């Protein structure tokens, strides 16, 4: 796995009243255009990292969510989010107005979909989780996802021609399971029952960018089991994310310290700011689970341009065994001193039609 992330502590959610600023290469692709609402699909050209090439529903029609209810999960009503995400054809899904969607059961997102929350204040909260399972080419953008709870399970529709029995869900914010080419951008997430984002079961070609994460214990999990060897093919890019207040561990954990791993993951940390907590003896950023030095000395864990503050320590390993990646998958990171600027607008954006985001 290749990981590129930028995280820092800063004063959260201060309203910015100046001119539009796009401070990283993903945002510069689309944000400071006053006509963004008339060219929403331009967003699909902006993904970087391992999910590059992901277009979501750009090849399809627009579908507008007008109904925040989620009462019937087997025969969902037209106008609901659930109706849109189970359709077979590509769809670019937007929201008619501000809304809180409380899911009765897992929301099963099918292939070739974009969930685009720009122009509305959309919360998926107080109910079941979002799941991308055995799907490809999905974009989730500009949503609040928080206070997610386990769902009891039952009959749930995952496509127009199939529904089946789902067991109890974990209560993750987003689960990516056996899926490819998934881009999660500008989401704000907190306080879910299990993980905020779990990427498991040979999911790969994932980019998680511009996110804002707070108030949670197990933040991100990449690979659920050391015994599942197919997760060796997993590739994830983290870029321009802010891991904020009230987080405890797994920022992320690879199968905490800040991040950890337990089955020979490759981790390349570039341009991050790590601030060790005060008055705590443990200052180690990294954590290698269930392995002694004789084993983990060959794991490729590299720190490049990171800013380590308040005694934070990054223990490198792996010698010069870094793999080479294409230009589309790998973009040169700024040093850790640029973190505040690069992540200034992480999380959901207050985009309004006719104005720059």
Residue 201 lies in a domain: yes
Has residue 18 been placed in a domain?
no
Residues β-bridged to residue 130: 107, 174
In this predicted model, what pLDDT tens digit does every residue of 114-141 receive, in sequence order? 999 999 999 999 999 999 999 999 999 9
pLDDT tops 50 at residue 9? no
* Residue 155 belongs to a domain: yes
Q: pLDDT tens digits, residue range 293-347? A: 888 888 878 888 888 888 888 888 886 655 555 555 556 778 888 888 888 888 9
- Does the residue 107 lie in any domain? yes
Question: Does residue 2 sit within a domain?
Answer: no
pTM for the model stands at: 0.86
Which carries the bigger pLDDT value, residue 283 or residue 158?
A: 158
Q: Does the pLDDT at position 17 exceed 80?
A: no
Bridge partner residues of 132 (DSSP): 176
Token look-up 């990292």 returns: 49
259: which strand partners? Answer: 286
Active site (catalytic) residues = 250
352 domain residue, yes or no: no
CATH number where 165 lies:
2.160.20.10
Residue 28: closest CA among 341, 354, 325: 341
| Choice between 16 and 313, residue whose per-residue pLDDT is larger | 313
The gap from C-alpha 337 to its chain's centroid, in whole angstroms, comes to 23
What pLDDT score does 339 carry?
A: 80
- SS3 per residue for 303-357: EECCEEECCCECCCECCCCCCCCCCCCCCCCCCHHHHHHHCCCCCCCCCCCCCCC
Tell me the C-alpha to C-alpha distance, in Å, between residue 201 and each of 21, 110, 230, 231, 260. 38, 17, 7, 6, 18
Strands of the sheet containing 130-133, edge to edge, are 107-108, 130-133, 174-177, 197-200, 220-222, 253-254, 259-261, 286-288
Within a domain: 195:
yes
Tally of domains within the chain: 1
Structural domain range at position 114: 25-342
């Amino acid at each position: 796995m290749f990981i590129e992330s930028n995280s820092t502590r800063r004063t959260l959610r201060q309203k910015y009243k100046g001119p539009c600023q796009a401070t990283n290469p993903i945002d510069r692709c689309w944000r400071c255009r006053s006509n963004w609402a008339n060219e929403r699909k331009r967003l699909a050209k902006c993904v970087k990292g391992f999910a590059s090439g992901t277009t979501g529903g750009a090849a399809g029609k627009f579908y507008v969510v007008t109904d925040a209810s989620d009462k019937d999960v087997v025969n969902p009503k037209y106008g609901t989010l659930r109706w849109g995400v189970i359709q077979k054809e590509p769809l670019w899904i937007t929201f008619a107005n501000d809304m809180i969607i409380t899911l009765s059961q897992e929301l099963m997102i099918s292939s070739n979909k974009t969930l685009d929350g720009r122009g509305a204040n959309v919360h998926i909260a107080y109910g079941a989780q979002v799941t991308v399972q055995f799907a490809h080419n999905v974009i989730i953008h500009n949503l609040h996802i928080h206070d997610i709870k386990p769902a009891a399970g039952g009959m749930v529709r995952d496509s127009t021609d199939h529904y089946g029995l789902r067991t109890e869900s974990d209560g993750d914010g987003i689960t990516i399971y056996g899926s490819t080419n998934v881009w999660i951008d500008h989401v704000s997430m907190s306080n879910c029952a299990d993980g905020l984002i779990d990427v498991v079961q040979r999911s790969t070609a994932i980019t998680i960018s511009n996110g804002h994460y707070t108030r949670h214990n197990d933040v991100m999990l990449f690979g659920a089991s050391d015994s599942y060897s197919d997760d060796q093919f997993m590739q994830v890019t983290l870029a321009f994310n802010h891991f904020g207040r009230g987080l405890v561990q797994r920022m992320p954990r690879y199968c905490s310290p800040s991040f950890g791993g337990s089955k020979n993951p490759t981790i390349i940390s570039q341009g991050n700011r790590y601030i060790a907590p005060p008055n705590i003896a443990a200052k180690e950023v990294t954590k290698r689970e269930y392995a002694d030095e004789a084993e983990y000395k060959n794991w490729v864990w590299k720190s490049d341009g990171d800013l380590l503050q308040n005694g934070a320590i990054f223990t490198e390993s792996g010698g010069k065994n870094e793999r080479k990646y294409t230009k589309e998958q790998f973009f040169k990171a700024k040093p850790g001193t640029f973190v505040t600027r690069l992540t200034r607008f992480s999380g959901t954006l207050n985009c309004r039609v006719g104005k720059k985001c």
